[in-house]
C-alpha cells in the first residue's frame, strides 16, 4: 500500500511581512497565511513565532508534522555559502551576524530545513509554476526598493563561489551616474529602482520643471510618477522612458553574458508599471544585444505568481531534493 500523501511547509520572510504555507508535489497550495513582522527582533523570537505559525497551519490543515517532509524557507538576508548562517538581515534581526538560522529552525520544528535567499527562491518559484515554467536557464530580476537577481542554471540555483551571486543591482551602468547606497556611482539600483525614479522626479521639480506631479502630496513615490505618465505628463513620461532604457541596457548585458532562456521581471516597480515599462525594456534589450547571434529568442516577461512566488519556490527547494 502506498504511503499517505506528503506535503512540504514553506515560508517567505520579507523585510516587513512573513508568509507561511503548505504545498504539495504538484504546486497546489493547501493552506497559506500572512502575518506582519514590524521592526527588528531577536533571532530566537523570529524562529519561535515562525514555528508556532507553521504548527498552527499544519494542524488546521488536518495534518501532523510527520506528514510534512520539511520546511523550505525564503529569507530577505545575506546567507553564508552553505546557507546555514544569516550574515546580514538588518530589517529582520538588526545587527546580529552569523546567526545559525537553519539549525535553530530545525531544532524548533524537528524537521529538515532548506534555507535560501529570496531572489533565488523566487526564481525557482517562477521557473516551477510561473512565468518561466520549465526553463532551465532563467534569471529573475526584482526591481523594487532595491534591485537584485536570482540565477538558475540547469534548473538549479546558482549561488556563486562564496554564495553571493546575483548582486545585479550593483552593476555599474554609468560610471559618471548618481551615487548609490552601496557607496559607488552609477549602479543600476541608483538609476532604476523605485526610490531612484522618485528621486529623479523630485530633482526635476526642484529645478523648476512643470509637471502634474507637483500637485501631489509629498513624499513622491515611483507609483505617483507612473500614474502621471499614464495621464500623459511629459516629465513623468521621460523619467519612465529613461528607467526602461537603463533596465533594458542592463538586461542586454545579462543576455550577452549568460544567454538565459527567460528573464522574469518582478518587484514593486514592475508589478505597478508593467504596462509602461515592459515593452520599452524589451525593445532596448533587443537593440543592445549583438545582432549576429540569435539572442532575440530569449523571452523577457513579467512575473506571474505575485506574492506566492516565494512560497512556491521555497516549497520547490524541498521537492527538488526530496523525491516523494
Which residues ranging from 117 to 136 are in contact with its own copies (CB under 8 A)? 135-136
CB atoms within 10 A of CB 61: 16
Instruction: In angstroms, give the least distance from the CB of 53 to its own copies.
Output: 30
Please, which residue, 57 or 254, has the CB nearer to its own copies? 254
CA–CA distances in Å: residue 90 to residues 41, 73, 77, 304, 310: 10, 18, 8, 28, 19
Residue 143 is a binding residue for its own copies (CB under 8 A): no
Alpha helices of 71-187 — where are they, by DSSP H?
90-93, 101-109, 118-129
Radius of gyration of the chain measured on its C-alpha atoms: 21
Residue 150 is a binding residue for its own copies (CB under 8 A): no
List 74, 122, 227, 249, residue binding its own copies (CB under 8 A)? 249
List 44, 287, 307, 321, residue binding its own copies (CB under 8 A)? 287
Instruction: In angstroms, give the least distance from the CB of 308 to its own copies.
Output: 26
Instruction: In angstroms, give the least distance from the CB of 83 to its own copies.
Output: 14
Instruction: In angstroms, give the least distance from the CB of 241 to its own copies.
Output: 13
List 137, 140, 272, 316, residue binding its own copies (CB under 8 A)? 137
Residue 160 is a binding residue for its own copies (CB under 8 A): yes
Category of 291 on φ-ψ map: left (φ > 0), alpha (ψ -120 to 50) or beta: alpha
Report yes or no: 143 and 247 within 8 Å, Cβ to Cβ.
Answer: yes
List 39, 175, 232, 323, residue binding its own copies (CB under 8 A)? 175
* 203 three-state secondary structure: helix
**Residues linked to residue 143 through DSSP beta bridges, in sequence order:** 147
Stretch of residues binding its own copies (CB under 8 A), selected from 28-36, 211-219, 251-259, 311-319 = 251-259
The residue among 45, 56, 44, 65 whose CA lies nearest residue 20 is 56
CB atoms within 10 A of CB 254: 21
Q: How many whole angstroms separate alpha carbon 171 and alpha carbon 193?
A: 13
Residue 56 is a binding residue for its own copies (CB under 8 A): no
List 4, 26, 95, 162, residue binding its own copies (CB under 8 A)? 162
Binding pattern for the stretch 82-101 against its own copies, x by CB under 8 A and - elsewhere? -----xx-------------
Residue 291 is a binding residue for its own copies (CB under 8 A): yes
Please, which residue, 68 or 289, has the CB nearer to its own copies? 289
Report yes or no: 250 and 188 within 8 Å, Cβ to Cβ.
Answer: yes
Q: How many whole angstroms separate alpha carbon 254 and alpha carbon 263?
A: 9
Q: How many whole angstroms separate alpha carbon 5 and alpha carbon 19?
A: 23
Residue 170 is a binding residue for its own copies (CB under 8 A): yes
Residue 155 is a binding residue for its own copies (CB under 8 A): no
Strands ordered across the beta sheet of 147-153 = 156-157, 147-153, 138-143, 262-266, 299-302
List 83, 102, 111, 159, residue binding its own copies (CB under 8 A)? 159
Residue 59 is a binding residue for its own copies (CB under 8 A): no
Report yes or no: 131 and 125 within 8 Å, Cβ to Cβ.
Answer: no
Q: Which helix (H) or strand (E) holds 150?
A: strand 147-153
Instruction: In angstroms, give the least distance from the CB of 44 to its own copies.
Output: 24
Give the chain's length: 324
Residue 238 is a binding residue for its own copies (CB under 8 A): no
* Backbone phi, psi, residue 293, to 5°: -130, 150
Please, which residue, 54 or 187, has the CB nearer to its own copies? 187
Please, which residue, 55 or 185, has the CB nearer to its own copies? 185
Write out the residues near its own copies by the rule CB under 8 A: 78, 87-88, 135-137, 149, 151, 153, 158-168, 170-175, 182-184, 245, 249, 252-254, 256-261, 287-295, 297-298
Amino acid at each position: 500500500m502506498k504511503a499517505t500523501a506528503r506535503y512540504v511547509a514553506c515560508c517567505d520572510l520579507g523585510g516587513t511581512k512573513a508568509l507561511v504555507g503548505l504545498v504539495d508535489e504538484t504546486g497546489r497550495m493547501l493552506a497559506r497565511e500572512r502575518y506582519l513582522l514590524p521592526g527588528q527582533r531577536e533571532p530566537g523570537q523570529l524562529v519561535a513565532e515562525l514555528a508556532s505559525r507553521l504548527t498552527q497551519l499544519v494542524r488546521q490543515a488536518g495534518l501532523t508534522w510527520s506528514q510534512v517532509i520539511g520546511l523550505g524557507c525564503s529569507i530577505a538576508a545575506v546567507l553564508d555559502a552553505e546557507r546555514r548562517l544569516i550574515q546580514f538581515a538588518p530589517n529582520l534581526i538588526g545587527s546580529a551576524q552569523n546567526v545559525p538560522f537553519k539549525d535553530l529552525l530545525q531544532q524548533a520544528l524537528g524537521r529538515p530545513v532548506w534555507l535560501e535567499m529570496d531572489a533565488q527562491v523566487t526564481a525557482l518559484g517562477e521557473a516551477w509554476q510561473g512565468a518561466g515554467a520549465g526553463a532551465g536557464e532563467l534569471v529573475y530580476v526584482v526591481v523594487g526598493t532595491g534591485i537584485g537577481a536570482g540565477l538558475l542554471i540547469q534548473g538549479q540555483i546558482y549561488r556563486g563561489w562564496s554564495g553571493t551571486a546575483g548582486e545585479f543591482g550593483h552593476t555599474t551602468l554609468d560610471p559618471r551616474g548618481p551615487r548609490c547606497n552601496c557607496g559607488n556611482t552609477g549602479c543600476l539600483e541608483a538609476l532604476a529602482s523605485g526610490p531612484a525614479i522618485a528621486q529623479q522626479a523630485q530633482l526635476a521639480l526642484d529645478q523648476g520643471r512643470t509637471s502634474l506631479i507637483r500637485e501631489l502630496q509629498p513624499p513622491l513615490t515611483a507609483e505617483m510618477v507612473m500614474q502621471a505618465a499614464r495621464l500623459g505628463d511629459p516629465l513623468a513620461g521621460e523619467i519612465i522612458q529613461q528607467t526602461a532604457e537603463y533596465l533594458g541596457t542592463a538586461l542586454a548585458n545579462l543576455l550577452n553574458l549568460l544567454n538565459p532562456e527567460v528573464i522574469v521581471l518582478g518587484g514593486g516597480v514592475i508589478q505597478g508599471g508593467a504596462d509602461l515599462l515592459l515593452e520599452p525594456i524589451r525593445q532596448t534589450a533587443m537593440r543592445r544585444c549583438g545582432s549576429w547571434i540569435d539572442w532575440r529568442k530569449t523571452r523577457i516577461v513579467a512575473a506571474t505568481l505575485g506574492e506566492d512566488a516565494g512560497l512556491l519556490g521555497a516549497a520547490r527547494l524541498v521537492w527538488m531534493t526530496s523525491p516523494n
